[in-house]
Structure 1
Amino acid sequence: MNNPTLLHHAVETMEVGSKSFATASKLFDAKTRRSVLMLYAWCRHCDDVIDDQQLGFPGEAPSAQTPQQRLASLERKTRQAYAGAQLHEPAFAAFQEVALAHDISPTYAFDHLEGFAMDVRGARYETLQDTLRYCYHVAGVVGLMMAQIMGVRDEATLDRACDLGIAFQLTNIARDIVEDARVGRCYLPESWLEEAGLDRLHFADRAHRPALAGLARRLVSEAEPYYDSASAGLAGLPLRSAWAIATAKEVYRRIGVKVYGAGETAWDRRQSTSKQEKLLLLAAGAAQAVRSRAGASPPRPDALWQRPR
Structure 2
Amino acid sequence: MAVTHVVVDDTTTHAAAVTSGSSFYLAMRILPAAQREAMYQVYAFCRAVDDIADSTLPRAERQAQLEHWRADIDACYAGVPPAALRALAQQIQRFALQRADFHAMIDGMAMDAAADICAPDEATLDLYCDRVASAAGRLSVRIFGMPEAAGLELSHHLGRALQLTNILRDIDEDAGIQRCYLPLELLEREGISPASPAMIAAHPALPRVCASLVERARQHFAHAERVMDAATRAQVRAPRIMSGVYRCLLERTVRRGFAAPRTKLRKPRARLLWIVARYMFF
Q: The TM-score by the shorter chain falls in which range?
A: 0.7 to 0.9
Give 1:46's match in structure 2, choosing from 36, 46, 49.
49
- Match for residue 168 of structure 1? 162
User: Letter of the aligned partner of 1:138 in structure 2?
Assistant: V
Give 1:97's match in structure 2, choosing from 90, 95, 107.
90
Q: Say how many residue pairs are matched.
A: 274
- Match for residue 107 of structure 1? 100
- Match for residue 302 of structure 1? none
Q: Distance in 1 between matches of 2:127 and 2:214?
A: 16
Question: 1:205: Cα distance to partner?
Answer: 4.4
- Pairing 1:9–2:12 present: yes
Give 2:174's match in structure 1, choosing from 177, 180, 187.
180
CA contact (8 A) 2:154 2:227 kept: yes
Task: Please list the CA deviations of residues 273-295 of structure 1 after superposition, one character each: whole Å capped at 9, or x if unmatched.
Answer: 222111222244458xx7xxxxx
Tell me the secondary structure at the aligned position of residue 12 of structure 2: helix
- Pairing 1:66–2:61 present: yes
Structure 1 residues 119-198: aligned runs within 5 Å: 119-122=112-115, 126-198=120-192
Q: Distance in 2 between matches of 1:250 and 1:187?
A: 23
Segment of structure 1 superposing worse, 7-16 or 27-36:
7-16
Q: Distance in 2 between matches of 1:209 and 1:93?
A: 49
Sort the Cα spacing of 1:127 and 1:65 in 2 relative to 1 into closer, same or farther, 3 A. closer
Tell me the secondary structure at the aligned position of residue 134 of structure 1: helix
Q: Distance in 1 between matches of 2:123 and 2:254?
A: 21
TM-score, L = length of structure 2: 0.85
Segment of structure 1 superposing worse, 178-187 or 251-260:
178-187
Of all paired residues, the percent bearing the same amino acid is 25
- Pairing 1:76–2:71 present: yes
Q: Gaps (5+ residues) in structure 2?
A: 1-6
Question: 1:147: Cα distance to partner?
Answer: 0.2
- Match for residue 256 of structure 1? 250
- Pairing 1:35–2:30 present: no
Segment of structure 1 superposing worse, 174-183 or 258-267:
258-267
CA contact (8 A) 1:203 1:212 kept: no
Sort the Cα spacing of 1:233 and 1:206 in 2 relative to 1 into closer, same or farther, 3 A. closer
Tell me the secondary structure at the aligned position of residue 16 of structure 1: coil
Question: 1:256: Cα distance to partner?
Answer: 1.0
Sort the Cα spacing of 1:75 and 1:274 in 2 relative to 1 into closer, same or farther, 3 A. same
Question: 1:126: Cα distance to partner?
Answer: 4.3
Q: Distance in 2 between matches of 1:132 and 1:76?
A: 26
Task: Please list the CA deviations of residues 113-142 of structure 1 after superposition, one character each: whole Å capped at 9, or x if unmatched.
Answer: 111122233366543333122101100111
Question: 1:168: Cα distance to partner?
Answer: 0.6
Q: Distance in 1 between matches of 2:11 and 2:229?
A: 31
Task: Please list the CA deviations of residues 62-117 of structure 1 after superposition, one character each: whole Å capped at 9, or x if unmatched.
Answer: 5796222122112111111222224233xx34432221211111111111211112
CA contact (8 A) 1:150 1:238 kept: no
User: Letter of the aligned partner of 1:145 in structure 2?
Assistant: L
User: Letter of the aligned partner of 1:26 in structure 2?
Assistant: R
Sort the Cα spacing of 1:12 and 1:219 in 2 relative to 1 into closer, same or farther, 3 A. farther
TM-score, L = length of structure 1: 0.78
Q: Over aligned residue pairs, what C-alpha RMSD do you find?
A: 2.8
